Amino acid sequence: MAQLVVRNLEASVKTRLKRRAARHGRSTEAEVRDILRYAVAQEDSPSTGLGTEIAAMFSKIGLRSPIRELHGRLKPPRFK
């Protein structure tokens, strides 16, 4: 396995990492490994819009008619 040395890390960041690790019940080193794994995994995942993500969550339910996309347009206010 590879090693990584991080120099010039602020004391406040180190303290916060230690606290976070304690909350998760692991060592600071294990916490940092988990943070780095998560950051790299997020970079590898395709970036989609919120609407696409919502549609994917509800794709199994089905719709009677498609929902129009409103890219870059504001919805007009409804008056009663």
C-alpha span between 53 and 30 (Å, rounded)? 31
Per-residue model confidence (pLDDT) at position 66: 67
Domain total in the chain:
1
* Cβ atoms of 31 and 20 closer than 8 Å: yes
Per-residue model confidence (pLDDT) at position 20: 95
0.85 exceeded by the pTM?
Answer: no
76 in a structural domain: no
Structure confidence by residue, pLDDT tens digits, 29-66? 999 999 999 888 877 666 677 777 777 777 777 766 66
80 in a structural domain: no
Both structure tokens of 64: 């009677």
Q: Read off the CATH number of the domain in which 25 is found.
A: 1.10.1220
Q: Where are the alpha helices (DSSP H) in the chain?
A: 11-23, 28-44, 50-57
> By residue range, what is the domain housing residue 32?
11-56
* Cβ atoms of 31 and 17 closer than 8 Å: yes
Structure confidence by residue, pLDDT tens digits, 12-36? 999 999 999 999 999 999 999 999 9
21 in a structural domain: yes
| Residue 69 pLDDT grade (very low, low, confident, very high; cuts 50, 70, 90) | low
34 in a structural domain: yes
77 in a structural domain: no
18 in a structural domain: yes
